[in-house]
Amino acid sequence: MIDLKVGVIGLPGKWSTEALADAVEHATGFRHVIDMAELRADLTTGAVYAGATKISDYDALLVKKISAEYNPNTLDRLELLRWCEHQGVRVMSPALNILRLIDRLSCTVTLRQHQIPMPPTTITESIDAAMNAVEQYGSAIFKPLYSTKARGMVVIDNSMNQQQRRQHIESFKQQNPMMYIQQKLDLSGRDMGLVFLGGEYLGAYARVAQTDSWNTTIHSGGKYQAASLSEDVIEMAFRAQQPFGMDFTTVDVAETATGPVVFEVSAFGGFRGAKDGIGIDAAKRYVDYAINQLKPC
């Protein structure tokens, strides 16, 4: 065992969080799962505590989850991790890098700036512009800027009459003033997650719909399978994750009739998909990577 204090930021009791904590404990003999709701930062002394435990003198914090669901408060929690970094704690992935992925719009703008293929997308606060986007796309997915596993997403299409479309858009806008609108593509009930550790490609799994749901997420009944992808798709996913500098991430990709597209780069990455889809123990691989990063040069 190596003598390091490495905490795990996550959701106590959740499979991915506990799997990561198990891997840390196996490698170091130390285990501490930290719920972000318990953090307290004293900006006068510089100390950061999780409950009564001082964590600002840990060697590292591995971030698996910041909150159960993404929301603007998640960004505030990341500032506490940024303060831990200021105190000399290695945070993986870095707080600012995670911050750029929590907000769907921030992620999308960065991907498009790097010419990564994505579904046609419109960003607007205007009801009329949103109506025009639906008419142009034929079928559109309205996505909250902060969400995971397709939560809060709404499909609005031209099968509705104009009044129905407007009512649905107005209802979505009440909770989402800045509307993120993406053309709904024919994915044949499957999309992929490509796994990267320290920028190195580890493999890919598919999420395959088992119902008539429009999305393939496990939350909606999808199942994980292994995926065999072309070098072109892997290279595209590599370019997609590169600007974000994540220690561990997955890139969500789909193959369409007009070519592969990227949906997003994950702020935290999918341990379950890696394990169930392709038999990769991502938690162990991540901890081995982290320990190697923490070794003195």
Establish if 1 belongs to a structural domain.
no
Please give the pLDDT value at position 9: 97
User: Is residue 198 within 8 Å of 191, Cβ to Cβ?
Assistant: no
Q: If you average pLDDT over every residue of the chain, what do you get? A: 93
The CATH number given to whatever domain includes residue 213 is 3.30.470.20
What is the per-residue pLDDT across 26-70, written as a single tens digit (0 to 9) for each?
999 999 999 999 999 999 999 999 999 999 999 999 999 998 887
Q: Which residue has the tokens 């889809």?
A: 277
Are 198 and 273 found together in one domain? yes
Q: Which residue has the tokens 């031209």?
A: 158
The CATH number given to whatever domain includes residue 139 is 3.30.1490.20
Total domains present in the chain: 3
Please give the pLDDT value at position 295: 84
Q: Which of 113, 110, 88 is nearest to 97 (CA)?
A: 110
Are 60 and 141 found together in one domain? no
Are 179 and 193 found together in one domain? no
Are 58 and 94 found together in one domain? yes
Please give the pLDDT value at position 71: 77
What count of Cα atoms within 13 Å lies in the side-chain half-sphere of residue 12? Answer: 9
Establish if 16 belongs to a structural domain.
yes
Gap between the Cα atoms of 30 and 23, Å rounded: 10
Stated pTM of the model: 0.91
Is residue 212 scored above 70 in pLDDT?
no
Are 269 and 250 found together in one domain? yes
Please, what's the b/e burial string for 183-193 (b: 16 or more CB within 10 A of its CB; e: otherwise)?
A: bbbebebebbb
Which domain, by its residues, includes 259? 186-279
User: Is residue 145 within 8 Å of 104, Cβ to Cβ?
Assistant: yes
Look at residues 129, 156, 183 and tell me which one is the last residue of a structural domain: 183
Are 94 and 173 found together in one domain? no
Establish if 112 belongs to a structural domain.
no
Establish if 115 belongs to a structural domain.
no
The full 3-state SS of 94-106, as one line of letters, equals CHHHHHHHHCHHH
What is the per-residue pLDDT across 243-255, written as a single tens digit (0 to 9) for each?
999 999 999 999 9
Confidence of residue 296 (pLDDT cuts 50, 70, 90): confident
Rounded mean pLDDT, 176-185: 96
The CATH number given to whatever domain includes residue 19 is 3.40.50.20
What is the per-residue pLDDT across 144-170, written as a single tens digit (0 to 9) for each?
998 887 889 999 999 999 999 999 999
Are 191 and 179 found together in one domain? no
Are 96 and 10 found together in one domain? yes
Establish if 110 belongs to a structural domain.
no
Are 92 and 178 found together in one domain? no
Are 257 and 171 found together in one domain? no
Helix (H, G, I), strand (E, B) or coil at 202: strand
Establish if 111 belongs to a structural domain.
no
Look at residues 159, 183, 207 and tell me which one is the last residue of a structural domain: 183
Asked if omega into 188 is within 30° of 0 (cis), the reply is no
Look at residues 142, 157, 183 and tell me which one is the last residue of a structural domain: 183
Establish if 107 belongs to a structural domain.
no
Please give the pLDDT value at position 218: 59
Are 171 and 198 found together in one domain? no
How far apart are the two ends of the chain, measured CA to CA in Å?
19
